[in-house]
Amino acid sequence: MPDRPYPSLAEATRIWARIGLLSFGGPAGQIALMHRILVEEQRWLGEKRFLHALNYCMLLPGPEAMQLAVYVGWLMHRTLGGIIAGLLFVLPGVVAIMALSWVYALFGNVGPVEAIFFGLKAAVLAIVVQAVIRIGSRVLKNSTMMGIAALSFIAIFGFSVPFPVIILAAGCIGFLGSRSGLSAFRGEGGHGKLGKVQVDDSQTLLGEETPGHTEINRSYALRISTAFLLLWLAPVAVLFAILGTEQVFSQIAGFFSIMAVVTFGGAYAVLAYVAQEAVQNFGWLAPGEMLDGLGMAETTPGPLIMVTQFVGFMGAFRESGALSPLAAGTLGGLLATWVTFTPCFLWIFLGAPFIERLRDNKALTAALTAITAAV
């Protein structure tokens, strides 16, 4: 155990605020940042536990880095800790994207702003490259995992194999490989390092034990499911009932609620579809504006899928109705953000207790590791 006290919720909140403000570079950079702060610096949890949580988050729809923050926050300080971690992870991006959306809507492509973005993109690219190397060296720990990653790349880009099929195949390979006793799928030995140091679970504040609040509890599962389903879908139902299905706010709520369920593989896996629908079907964006929104998301803190806020903003800005364009845009952007990220809390709070219980299941761990390699 490290010679430091267990952090209070207030102390943890400051750590999560720091992570949220520094979370540039997309999921690779954000995961590497969390590993450096939470594992190497704070020693809240060890390498094995961090990667076990990451493997599960990679399997979920939505932004895996944000969900990893919720998972660790929940591990450390129960449900409230997870909520605080998730909110602070996305809040800086919400504020930044909203401010930039206002500038974009009012002034268009302003030369000085474009110049700033160009410089930031170069710095962010360097962060992303470094982070991908660090994570890849840890997850792709042998030639078998490298082979799974290569085959997944060929399948999705060369043959347009659906992403869920790739996930299922990788999981089956990992599970069967572990059950067959193949050394490539064993959880121990031969690991590279995600960071500069290797931190065992026994050297951390959480240790190797399973905290009591992570035990499977049907009553908790029912309460948390009801609460977050209502938070997520009740506003959508109200908008549909009052405004109808063709009004822009209803369209934003419905479309991005669906996206929240099918966004496997991270933001890039669905951005092309979002852009196509936003431009051709709904008419929210002009051709090329999706790239501008992605540039905002890449050069500000928070998940890349935060670009949905820009899409929602521009859609409502251009179909403001009785509201002022800026007021409508602000509401549209916040609505898109709400229905995109609220389900992420549900996936973690509902599924994480089961994942924690299976932490020592070698076959499941191998399956999740293979899925992470594929992703």
- Whether residue 112 has pLDDT greater than 50: yes
Distance from chain centroid for Cα 207: 25
DSSP label of 286:
-
Query: Of all helices (H) and strands (E), which one includes residue 54?
Result: helix 47-59
pLDDT of 183: 63
* pLDDT tens digits, 311-369: 999 999 999 999 999 999 999 999 999 999 999 999 999 999 999 987 766 655 666 56
Q: What are phi and psi of 247, to 5 degrees?
A: -75, 150
Nearest to 348 by CA among 13, 7, 61, 3: 61
Neighbours of 292 (CB within 10 A): 19
User: Domain boundaries in the chain?
Assistant: 218-345
Burial of 215 (0-12, 13-18, 19+ CB in 10 A): exposed
* pLDDT tens digits, 280-311: 899 999 877 887 888 788 888 999 889 999 99
Rounded distance between C-alpha atoms, residue 133 and residue 148, angstroms = 17
pLDDT of 191: 39
pLDDT of 120: 55
Percent of the chain with pLDDT over 90: 47
pLDDT of 190: 37
162: Cβ–Cβ under 8 A, 6 or more apart, which residues?
Answer: none
- CA triple 142-146-151, angle to 5 deg: 150
Confidence (pTM): 0.82
Nearest to 174 by CA among 134, 141, 199, 223: 141
Rounded distance between C-alpha atoms, residue 324 and residue 318, angstroms = 10
Mean pLDDT rounded to a whole number for the chain: 83
Is residue 307 within 8 Å of residue 271, measured between CB atoms?
Answer: yes
